Amino acid sequence: MTKVKNEARQLAEEKGLQFVLVDGSPGVGCPVVSSLSGAHFVILVTEPTVSGLHDLKRVNQLVKKFGLLTGCIINKADLNGQLTAEIKNYLIEEGITHIVDLPYDDVFTAAMINGQTIVEHSPENMGSIIDACWETIKQITIKGKTG
């Protein structure tokens, strides 16, 4: 993980790119710790299930030890309104920025089958939500870096 992140940073610098995204594995083990080291912002992704909320709390405890700026995306937010509300309350209690609620949509599967990103496959619907989400993330990280 460290080697890949270092090479990604070097490549980003060479190409004048502002961001390097690192996708960490689920859980709180060593690969997650490695993916967090050197991060400026952490995006937690959860779903409104009992295990989703439990895992969110566990990884947040780990992220807090690093003192990192944190945001959360709630995937399939429309599947369980009560648990989505519990997650949102937890985010407020913990000072975690709520980035976006993503609805359940079969278009993700269709995009994968067609070998496309969601933005390519559904630019006017889910793609526009993802674009707005990315703009929010960029603004948070820029503000976080400059204070």
Q: What are phi and psi of 102, to 5 degrees?
A: -100, 125
Question: Within the chain, where are the H helices?
Answer: 2-15, 30-36, 50-66, 81-94, 107-113, 118-121, 126-146
Exposure letters 83-108 (e unless 16+ CB within 10 A, then b)? bbeebbebbeebebbebbbbeebeeb
Instruction: Please check the confidence at residue 44 and state whether its pLDDT lies above 90.
Output: yes
Residue spans per domain, the chain: 1-9+17-104, 106-147
pLDDT tens per residue across span 96-133: 999 999 999 999 999 999 999 988 998 888 988 999 99
b/e code 55-70 from CB counts within 10 Å (16+ = b): bbeebbebbeeeeebb
Each residue of 61-77: pLDDT tens digit? 999 999 999 999 999 99
Q: Encoding tokens for residue 83?
A: 């648990």
CATH 2.60.120.510 fits 1-9+17-104, yes or no: no
pTM of the model: 0.87
